[in-house]
Every structure is written in structure tokens, then in C-alpha cells.
Structure 1
Amino acid sequence: MVTIDREAAPATAVAAVPALVAALAGRRGAALALGALPAAVALFFRDPERRPDVDRAAFDADTVVSPADGKVMYAGPGQDGVAPEGEWQQVSIFLSAFDVHINRAPYGGRLREVTYKPGRWLAAYKHESAHQNERTDLVIEREVDGQVRAVHFRQIVGLMARRVVTRVAAGDELATGERIGLMKFGSRMDVFVPPEVDLTVRAGARVVAGETVIARWPSADAVS
């Protein structure tokens, strides 16, 4: 089932104004044509149900899923000027205006940090957008077998997107794939995992929020 996120209301109302003006002016044809605009805007805020594509037990403990629908721009070692300090692997996902923009937690655990930073609105596919655009950085931690695992992820608005919406706060407990907010009209998500985690996607791959596995911790047998 697909629902429409509540953020759609003001944007859809604005998009409906041209059709209303045309109708009041007696231009029925134009009003009908312009009526497609608010419908298209509402669809941008669609919020479909999602299910992981792996076994639930393994999914909860070892896997990192995509936090957004879109196309993988980069998958590999953390890029200078993009990745947080330290050693990380990075997956960057570009969301076009046609993708679902509801964002989900890539990994389950407790949110240690949620930091909003105002900034510019450069095209999200540009390297510098990661540290110059408006964004929210989130760090989630989970203890597994006595060790703390951390995943850092980042909502970044783009050229068309002018607002990042984050509906979680530090201290919240999240399940893998749980909704955490959205970004409006074309944007980017970056995910950073420790170097021992295996990336399971490559640049050019299409990913689905809450379903596509993008990284996986190696099993205990593999480590030993």
C-alpha cells in the first residue's frame, strides 16, 4: 500500500494555485491540464511499504540496507572531504525527482548523534555538495557480541531540494529500515561503514530504501 506523507499538503496546495486561477478565469482546458501538477507533486511524497530482501535474523544483526531509493554514484573507500574523520567505506546514492524520497535507517540501534547543518543547494551529484549543502548527519550504534558497531549516514539536499526533514533525535532506538524523514525534490544520501564491512553494491546500481542490502558485516566464521 502507498500512502502520501504529510509534507505533501503545503507543496500540493501551492501547485494547485495555477489550476485554480485558470478555472476562475473560465479556461477549463488549461485548468484541467494544470490539474496534473498538484497530482504530480503529491506523488513525489509517496510513501510505499518496504520489506528487507534478506532473512530477518541476519538482516537485523549483520546487514546495512539502503536508506533511500536511487542510483549508487559511488561505492568504495571514504572520499576525502566527504567521509567523516577516520577510516570508513562509503556508499553515495543520488535521488532524482522521480524517486521515492522517504528516508530510512540503514541499520538498527540507538542514535548517538543527529546534527543539522545549513548550507548551499549545489547539484547533489557534485563532490562538494557533501560538505557544502544543507544536510543532517546521523550516527547510529549497536552492540553485537560485545562490540559496538557504528553506521554514519547523511541526508543532503540538492539543486531542486531545498529542505531536509529529519524526524528522529539523538537517543532514539531505531529498527533497520525504519522511516527517519525525507528530502524534498532531488537529493543525496551518503552512508559510511567501518572498513571491515563488505560493500555489496557498485556504482551504477539501483537501490531501494529499506530493502536493498548495501553492506554486510562479515560472519564470525569469516573473521576467525
Structure 2
Amino acid sequence: MRLHREGNTIMLVTGLVLLALNLLAYYFLFSDNTTAIALLAVASLILFVLVVQFFRIPTRPLTTGEQHVVAPADGTIVVIEETDETEYFKSRRRQVSIFMSPLNVHVNRNPVTGVVRYFKYYPGKYLVAWHPKSSTENERTTVVIQLANGAEVLLRQIAGAVARRIIWYVKEGQPVEQGSEFGFIKFGSRVDVFLPLDADVKVAIGDRVKGGVTVLADMPA
């Protein structure tokens, strides 16, 4: 396991603030109260560990395959439905959505190999990720990857009530490989995947998936 570079500043600042708070408590606030000092130290350690785990990147074997659409994020499947995708396709698509809790790995990975044909970032609100309007009103990005056979998969990173910053590493015209990083959502949220209607979905509502590992669907031949 390693830690993601997006967490370097946050982890450093958190560590320094907690260290300063504990030194202040030890020398001034609770100098005669060892119980209070110990409780503060334990609480600080727990908080720091929670912050660090947000940025972990576990070592895992990645799933590859031209026909596979692999999960772009860790989390829980909360939506599988046929819906109108109105931004890019402007037609019916099959949507699979993954909810990322603060305890999940927050790296986002390319679900397929191909070329980025469309990218757009939208500033917005921070509704809870499962809110019906979060897909259209929250801070979000839209990425469309075209496969070698011409089929296209749309990904949408959506910020939630806790997540306040979406990171992306792709741009239009860029070739991407299945399983490589395409972005990061700080402190969790949701990723929507829009597939052709004839894609063979391999997951069910409530399934826990792993980014880069779990097969969400198989594309039609």
C-alpha cells in the first residue's frame, strides 16, 4: 500500500495542527491533568489515521479485458437503471452508480482502454451523493472514453456533502489505459457510469465493488 500524492498537503497540515494542539494542551491547558492529555492524544491519533486512510492506494491485481467495463471506484452499487443521458449522448443509456463512503479508497480509475473524446468540469452544489439532483446540480466532471470498436462509455465524478474537490488527470484527445488513474475525489462521493443499453451488467444493487478490479459490465461484441 502507498499514499496518494493528493493527500500530502492535507496530511501534513493535519499532523502539524494536531501536534501543536497537543503541545499546547501538555504545557498550558492541561498541564496537571494527565487523563485529559492522554484522551486528547488518543483522539488526535484516531483523527490523523482517519485522514491518512482517505488517501491510501492498496496494492491489488487489476482486471483487464477489451470487453470488460471495470469499476472506476471502490464503493457500493446504488443505481442500476435505464435513463436519459442528456449531456453528451442525448439518448437512453444504462446507468450504474457507485457510492464512495469516506472509508472507501478514493482513487478513480479508467474502466476501459480508449481515447478521451469529451471532458467537461462543472462547479456546483454539495448535496449528499444519493440525492436525486446530485448528478445535475453538484460539482462534477463528465468524461467520455471511446473504445477501439467505436463504442463509448461516459463517466461522471460527482462531489458529495463531504467531498469538496474533484481532481482529474485526463483531457480530450488523450489515450487512456484500463485501470490507470483518471482522477480523485477527496473524501468520497459518487461515480456514475453510462453504458450502451445492450451492455451486460454484472453487478447488482448493494454489491461492494473495487476500483480497477470488479467487472461492472461486458460491452456488446
Q: Shared fold (TM-score greater than 0.5)?
A: yes
Q: Does 1:134 align with 2:133?
A: no
Q: Secondary structure at the match of 1:97?
A: coil
The equivalent of 2:92 in structure 1 is 87
The equivalent of 2:20 in structure 1 is 20
Aligned pairs for 1:101-180 within 5 A: 101-144=106-149, 148-180=150-182
Gaps of 5+ in 1: 220-224
Percent of aligned pairs sharing the same letter: 37
Match for 2:73: what amino acid?
A: A
The equivalent of 2:56 in structure 1 is 46
Deviation string for 1:11-68 (max 9, x for gaps)? 2233221342222331542234313322220111001233334xx4xx1x11101000
| Counterparts of 2:91 and 2:56, CA distance in 1 | 36
The equivalent of 1:215 in structure 2 is 217
Give 1:86 deviation, angstroms: 0.9
| Counterparts of 1:96 and 1:83, CA distance in 2 | 27
Q: Which has the larger radius of gyration?
A: 2
Aligned pairs for 1:173-212 within 5 A: 173-212=175-214
Match for 1:43: what amino acid?
A: Q
Q: Secondary structure at the match of 2:148?
A: strand
Gaps of 5+ in 2: 31-36
| Counterparts of 1:197 and 1:205, CA distance in 2 | 18
| Contact 2:123 2:140 survives alignment (8 Å) | yes
The equivalent of 2:103 in structure 1 is 98
| Contact 2:84 2:92 survives alignment (8 Å) | no
| Contact 2:84 2:90 survives alignment (8 Å) | no
| Counterparts of 1:173 and 1:82, CA distance in 2 | 22
Give 1:142 deviation, angstroms: 1.6
Q: TM-score w.r.t. structure 1 length?
A: 0.87
Matched residue count: 210
Q: TM-score w.r.t. structure 2 length?
A: 0.88
Greater Cα offset, 23-32 or 40-49:
23-32
The equivalent of 1:222 in structure 2 is none
Match for 1:8: what amino acid?
A: G
| Contact 1:152 1:193 survives alignment (8 Å) | yes
| Counterparts of 2:92 and 2:199, CA distance in 1 | 11
Greater Cα offset, 119-128 or 76-85:
76-85
The equivalent of 2:70 in structure 1 is 65
Pair 1:135–1:84, CA change in 2 (3 A): farther
Give 1:82 deviation, angstroms: 8.9
Give 1:143 deviation, angstroms: 2.1
Match for 1:208: what amino acid?
A: K
| Counterparts of 2:6 and 2:89, CA distance in 1 | 30
Match for 1:13: what amino acid?
A: L
| Counterparts of 2:50 and 2:219, CA distance in 1 | 39
Give 1:189 deviation, angstroms: 0.3
| Contact 1:152 1:191 survives alignment (8 Å) | yes
Give 1:79 deviation, angstroms: 5.5
Give 1:10 deviation, angstroms: 1.9
Displacement over 4 Å in runs of 4+: 79-84
Q: Secondary structure at the match of 1:165?
A: strand
